[in-house]
Amino acid sequence: MAGTTALPLEQFIASLDNTCLPRILQVCSGVYFQGSIYEISGSEVCFSTGDLIKVIGIELVSVCCENISNDEKFELPINHTGLFKVVPETMPYNTIEEMISLRPVGLESCLPFTFTNHSKMTFDNFTLGAGRTLTVISTEQHEGQEDQVRCHVKGQQGASAEVCIPLSFQGEFSECENEERFTLQEIMSSPCLRSRRFHFVNTTKCEQPLVLSPVYQVHAIMNLRKNILKFPSSLEVDVVDVTEVCKDVNFVTPLSLTEVLSQPDESFPSVVEILERPQTRSLFKCSWLPELNRNSHLVFHKKKNTPMVLLSSSKSRKAQQYFLVSEQYGGRFRRRPREFNSVYEVYVASIQAPGLKVSVTRNCEDVEEEGLPSLSVGEQLQVVRCDRMELPCTGSAAQKQSVEALLCQRLQEPDDEDDDDEEEEVKQENEKEEIFLPLYMPGHFVEVLSDNKKYKLRDLGKEFSLPLDVKVVSRDTEIKTDPLFGLASLRIEGAMLEPTIQASLPDSPDHCFEIPTQWISMSVSFTKDPLPWPSDQPPKCHVDRVTEVTDTFFYEFHKQGNPEEAPPPRPPKGNLSSTKSCKKSKKSKADKSKERADKSVPTKKIADLTLNSKKRPPAPPPPPILDDQPPPIVPRKHSVDVTKGKALPNTYVQREDPKKKAALCDVAADVDSDHDYETVDESLMAMMKTAQENVQFF
């Protein structure tokens, strides 16, 4: 087929077989609205003008039946069980060979068949008149002679004869309708039969002649399409075969990082091109992530499964940090005691570390109604097991509540050697004292450790259960700036076996980093670019072993590890007995307050005069003057004018009215007349007056 001839896709695919594949086609025409879009079995296929399609396979799936009389079309599956008969052609054939060529490829399988001659035939001294019916029995081939067909001819009086007719014999021949029946598989397997018309046998579905054409499912690839496209050959698009022109075109196949892991080991190392930048930039805080942009290149060295651990720094004034660390980290760690803020946290830790010992870091008062014992700072407890305890209650047995609690042993330090033997025995008994701590009880504890050994990161995961608090005491010497060294405390949150790809940037192929494929989503394609180093001198790679991640990564990691983690238990609801006991305690407190009130009756008036009382009683009225003698009047000093000193008058002293003062003087005069008092010496009065006059000048 000419490379510049445009054909409908259906016609072009029908002319192909799997032996001539692959073929490259170019879309050149069709019905388009921003691309020709077809939705097939839930998947959308889009072809635009100029697109290149590389056909890599075809599969026959159905047959399209077209009614010639009304152009009606319908499809039948290829495994349809109905049979079809050939409709004789109305146009006569010019030669026997032309008529035979339109029979199925396996001619012997469809013999005999009948035809009629419309003109007189003469060969080998044998003449047949026009309108005779001949039945082809077989074909004969002889060396050095022309191929012939052996035909059976019936005479007028029942006589019959066999004649051999050369294939090149010319005349006018037409087929007779015969009883040959074909399935869809047989019709589609013969190019000659596909060009014939058929009708159904023994059915009333369609009595009109039908043109049968195959419908293939085309398997193809396109540039920047990840999966193999599958679409029917009946799409109304015209294509051109450009295989010879575009045989060097490279069809890029995008691959996700998980698909890169499925590539064979022989594909590494290789240079890849980034087609889609990572979509999870919020999960990582690293220097190489901003370099992963579209159309940039990376070197993929190898793929592997890397053991990693997730570390978190302690909560402090600074923002909390999280790190994804490879187990190849060369630093040394030392264990640190863990801190717990509730009994439930101690219980969770004791599941993974039986015999856990903790020390109380904050006093806790006992609450008898809730079953909370008293704890003192410095007390050491050893977890025994998780059990149930009954809350103390004054009610009936049916009202008692049972809650989950942690059974612990009190551990006390041994006393001095000077203590008596009896006291030592009592201490030993106290050492075995067992107490119940309800799981809902708040508290502050710290783990008791006696281990001062240095560990590698891989050894910590083998010897201890996680989570585990540690501190880096010696840095990794292969890292220029170790971000873990210098942090006050680190917690190993969990461990994982992460599939990673060891990669590097082309300008620094010896500085490698590990890309966790399950946490970064990006698309790449393998290229044929040469590696950025001599073929016989591969670089010595230094891999980053510490990658800082965000809190989003931390939370997503915990979701995967504990998707349905149970919340800590709640305290029990208050029962009737506890409420009664509370009421009794309130009543007792009220009684005590009454007793105290009775004892403080003599001081009640004094208490009313204090500022603590809400309603202060009014001030008592001034007592009436019962004495006839008025109180002595102190003579005023002739001081400077009040306005000059800017002194305000005393508003808290009650001033007497001048009229009332005059009346008092009259009363005093009357009283003096009735009583005899000693008279003051005039010399003394003069001396006092002189002294008062001298004082006012100071």
CA distances from 299 to 267, 287, 347, 501 (A): 12, 16, 48, 10
- Average pLDDT of every residue of the chain: 76
Between residues 576 and 180, which one has the greater pLDDT?
180
Return the higher-pLDDT residue of 316 and 52. 52
Q: What is the pLDDT of residues 61-86, one digit of tens each?
A: 899 888 888 888 888 998 888 888 88
Give the closest residue to 198 by CA, choosing from 325, 358, 83, 356. 83
165's enclosing H/E stretch is: strand 160-166
Distance CA 403, CA 426 (A): 31
Token pair for 439 = 């799981």
Give the Cα separation of 271 and 503 in Å (integer): 10
**Model pLDDT, residue 510:** 92
pLDDT higher than 70, residue 673: no
Lowest-confidence pick of 77-91, 382-396, 451-465, 614-628? 614-628
> Residue 661 pLDDT > 50, yes or no?
no
Give dist(CA 352, CA 346) in Å, integer: 10
What is the pLDDT confidence band of residue 589, given thresholds at 50, 70 and 90?
Answer: very low
Position 120, amino acid: K
**Per-residue pLDDT, 322:** 93
Question: Distance between CA 439 and CA 343 in Å, rounded?
Answer: 5
> pLDDT above 70 covers what percent of the chain?
71
**Length of the chain, please?**
698
What is the rounded distance in angstroms from the CA atom of residue 411 to the CA atom of residue 360? 11
Q: In the predicted model, what is the mean pLDDT of residues 132-149? A: 82
pLDDT at res. 279: 73
- In the predicted model, is pLDDT for residue 134 greater than 80? yes
Please say if the pLDDT value at position 674 is more than 50.
Answer: no
How far, in Å, CA of 176 to CA of 614, rounded? Answer: 128
Q: What is the pLDDT of residue 204?
A: 65
Q: What does the pLDDT average to over 417-430?
A: 54
Q: Please tell me the predicted confidence (pLDDT) of residue 604.
A: 44
Report the distance separating Cα 610 and Cα 620, nearest Å.
15
237-241 and 508-516 strand pairing: unpaired
pLDDT value of position 261: 93
Residues paired with residue 229 on neighbouring β-strands, in sequence order: 220
- Please, are residues 321 and 507 in contact by the beta-carbon 8 Å criterion? no
pLDDT at 42 over 70: no
Give 514-569 pLDDT, tens digit per residue: 999 999 988 899 998 899 999 888 899 999 999 999 999 998 888 876 655 566 67
Q: Helix, strand, coil: what percent of the chain each, to 5?
A: 20, 35, 45
**For residues 31 and 11, what is the distance between their CA atoms, to the nearest angstrom?**
17
Distances (CA, A) of 215 to 14, 22, 384: 8, 19, 76
Cβ contacts of residue 621 below 8 Å, gap of 6+? none
Give the 3-state secondary structure of residue 285: strand
3-state secondary structure of 372: strand
Position 531 scores a pLDDT of 92
CA separation for the pair 655, 641 (Å, rounded): 19
Residue 679: its pLDDT value, please? Answer: 55
Q: What is the per-residue pLDDT across 8-21, written as a single tens digit (0 to 9) for each?
A: 888 899 888 878 88
How do residues 466-525 score in pLDDT, each as one tens digit?
A: 788 899 999 998 888 899 998 888 999 888 999 999 999 999 999 999 999 999 988 899
Percent of the chain with pLDDT over 90: 16
Does pLDDT of 237 surpass 60?
yes
Lowest mean pLDDT among 22-36, 338-352, 382-396, 598-612: 598-612
- Would you state the structure tokens that stand for residue 177, as one six-digit string? 């309708």
Amino acid in position 326? S
Confidence band for 634, pLDDT divided at 50, 70 and 90 = low
Averaged pLDDT for residues 110-115: 74
Instruction: Give yes or no for a cis peptide into 264 (omega within 30° of 0).
Output: no
What pLDDT shows up at residue 480? 85
**Which whole number is the average pLDDT over 383-404?**
74
Q: What is the pLDDT of residue 605?
A: 42
pLDDT given for residue 429 in this prediction: 54
Other CB atoms within a 10 A radius of the CB of residue 494 amount to 17
Q: What is the per-residue pLDDT for 135?
A: 83
How far CA 109 is from CA of 103, 106, 112, 620, in Å, comes to: 10, 6, 9, 141
Task: Give all domains of the chain, ordered by start, each with its CATH number.
Answer: 7-79+213-253 (no CATH), 83-210 (no CATH), 256-336+452-561 (no CATH), 339-391+402-411+432-447 (2.30.30.40)
Output the DSSP codes for 227-239: SPEEEETT-SEEE
> In 182-270, which residue ranges form alpha helices assigned H by DSSP?
184-188, 191-194, 257-261
Q: Between the ranges 475-479, 614-618, 649-653, 656-660, where is the mean pLDDT highest?
A: 475-479
The residue assigned the tokens 């396996």 is 106
Of 417, 411, 418, give the one whose Cα is nearest residue 433: 411
pLDDT band at 388 (very low <50, low <70, confident <90, very high): confident
- Its sign, for the CA torsion 662, 667, 673, 679, is negative
Which one of 436-440, 652-656, 690-694 scores highest in mean pLDDT?
Answer: 436-440
Q: Is the pLDDT of residue 630 over 80?
A: no
Question: Is the pTM higher than 0.75?
Answer: no
Report d(CA 466, CA 353) in Å as an integer: 9
Phi, psi of 166 (to 5 degrees): -65, 150
C-alpha distances out from residue 678 to 328, 531, 626, 630, 673, Å: 117, 134, 22, 16, 13
